[in-house]
């Protein structure tokens, strides 16, 4: 009887675990685009990368200080026939409207990088909305184009930030390949960091005023294009509807 009860207990436990896994799977599938189960809680995540099989990737440049190397970045992109994405802080866009215009007219994509470059996880919902609104207006006043992409300063976010940005119509974008160009690495080191880490659907983080970023771009563009990768703006890389995001922040087309 004891053996029978033990076996019965194991069977009940196994059935219970199976039911829990099924419930969790259904929860993950139906809780929305940003819902991810991690560490016992349902978190909201930005897009770090995109599950794709076509070898499309995106390279992005955060603009917060200076323009000394921006022309060289634009020239490198033009020579390689590559369109990229720039994320601009409001005070940068207001200080350098000629560069906002130049970047837009060159066919590149522009998103907001906030108004004040603060740690936005410390802000309330109304403050977040104001940061998004005024920073987007600074860009839109020059380009006449709606801003749809948002990158949080320092890569700092919480559920409230992601949710509020989504409610305001923004796709929050992170990255899965960090160039670390802000550390003033050599052009070769920047290029090798990126090339060795890229996969189909990657989003690459760079900065418009990195000391050796522009110098690294021809190596990056030529090597990855020769490996079959295609550079597109982030807005053309991501899925805009019917998608899920896994625990690593990788966006997937929803299973129908």
Encode pLDDT of 151-206 as tens digits. Answer: 999 999 999 999 999 999 999 999 999 999 999 999 999 999 999 999 999 999 99
* 22 & 62 share domain: no
Q: In this predicted structure, what is the pLDDT of residue 38?
A: 41
* 86 & 20 share domain: no
Residue 175 placed within a domain: yes
- For residue 76, the enclosing domain spans 49-253
HSE-CB at 246 with a 13 A cutoff on CA atoms is 9
pLDDT digits (tens, 9 = 90+) for 44-60: 999 999 999 999 999 99
Report the pLDDT averaged over residues 84-101: 98
Q: In this predicted structure, what is the pLDDT of residue 37?
A: 42
Residue 38 placed within a domain: no
* 24 & 56 share domain: no
Report the pLDDT averaged over residues 133-150: 98
Alpha helix ranges (H) inside the chain: 2-30, 70-80, 90-95, 97-105, 125-143, 159-167, 187-197, 213-226, 234-237
* 58 & 128 share domain: yes
Report the pLDDT averaged over residues 236-252: 96
- The answer on pLDDT for 21 being more than 80 is no
- The answer on pLDDT for 26 being more than 70 is no
Residue 41 placed within a domain: no
* 199 & 154 share domain: yes
Residue 37 placed within a domain: no
Contacts of 73 (CB under 8 A, 6+ apart): 61, 84, 208, 213, 214, 217
Q: In this predicted structure, what is the pLDDT of residue 43?
A: 78
Residue 40 placed within a domain: no
More confident residue, 40 or 187: 187
More confident residue, 92 or 38: 92
Compute the mean pLDDT over every residue in the chain, rounded to the nearest whole number.
Answer: 88
Q: Could you give the number of structural domains in the chain?
A: 2
Q: In this predicted structure, what is the pLDDT of residue 255?
A: 77
């Amino acid at each position: 009887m004891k053996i029978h009860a033990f076996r019965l207990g194991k069977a009940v436990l196994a059935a219970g675990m199976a039911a829990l896994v099924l419930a969790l799977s259904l929860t993950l599938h139906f809780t929305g685009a940003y819902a991810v189960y991690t560490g016992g809680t349902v978190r909201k995540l930005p897009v770090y990368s995109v599950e794709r099989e076509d070898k499309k990737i995106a390279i992005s440049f955060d603009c917060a200080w200076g323009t000394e190397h921006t022309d060289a970045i634009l020239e490198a992109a033009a020579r390689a026939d590559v369109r990229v994405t720039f994320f601009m802080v409001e005070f940068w866009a207001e200080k350098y409207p000629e560069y906002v215009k130049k970047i837009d007219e060159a066919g590149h994509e522009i998103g907001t990088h906030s108004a004040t470059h603060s740690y936005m996880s410390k802000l309330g919902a109304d403050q977040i909305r104001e940061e998004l609104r005024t920073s987007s207006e600074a860009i839109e006043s020059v380009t006449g184009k709606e801003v749809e992409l948002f990158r949080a300063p320092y890569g700092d976010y919480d559920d409230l930030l992601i949710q509020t940005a989504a409610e305001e119509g923004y796709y929050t974008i992170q990255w899965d390949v960090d160039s670390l160009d802000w550390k003033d690495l050599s052009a070769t080191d920047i290029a090798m960091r990126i090339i060795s880490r890229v996969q189909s659907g990657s989003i690459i983080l760079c900065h418009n005023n990195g000391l050796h970023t522009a110098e690294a771009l021809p190596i990056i563009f030529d090597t990855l294009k020769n490996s079959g990768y295609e550079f597109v703006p982030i807005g053309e890389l991501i899925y805009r509807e019917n998608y899920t995001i896994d625990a690593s922040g990788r966006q997937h087309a929803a299973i129908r």
